[in-house]
Structure 1
Amino acid sequence: MSFDENQFHDIADAFLDSLFERLDEQIGDHADVDVEDGILNIELDAGGTYIINKHAPNKQIWMASPKSGATHYEYKEGDWIGTRDDADLVKRLCEELNVTLS
């Protein structure tokens, strides 16, 4: 999907805000979850931090994970899909955090 920078920010911000709300509800008792200025931080009580942020120049979402390292995602058909492995960002994050977000 091709979109301009403003559309990217609208889509990415809505995604990050929604993901924040779902994560805070699901794992808020086991992690400090915060989103600010297009950066979602998930600091796990058991150790480890996830950082999920917008990367406007490439119109991507980037994730730094203590388990899978750095990954990049492009918006395709309503989902953020990995640029290297076609993995769905939300599914990968859920598997790593061992939670189901609905």
Structure 2
Amino acid sequence: MSGDKKKKTKRTVKGQLVLKTFARTTKSESLGVYLQTAEESFLIRPAAGNPFMDNPLAALAGKFIEATGRKSDYVFFADSWKEIPEDEAR
């Protein structure tokens, strides 16, 4: 691997999963799974998942989760996640 690549540190985030349109008005337009935290919103998907397959987190849309993983640009790659009560997500 290249020595100039930044090491991505793992972090834990909490928020609500929402479905929103990604890449609107482009050939890549699709329904994306976003994690809406108190500070920001970003795409979320399993770290080991295939980005061209359905995102298993879509089934949890509307639920609140705590996820551990790493963020790269606008995508959070979740190594693990669990459903949590709404009051814990705030």
* Both proteins in one fold, TM over 0.5: no
Rg larger for:
2
TM-score normalised by the shorter chain: which range applies?
A: under 0.3
Give the TM-score of the pair, scaled to structure 1.
0.25
> Hey, which of these two has a bigger chunk of helix by percent?
1
Give the TM-score of the pair, scaled to structure 2.
0.27
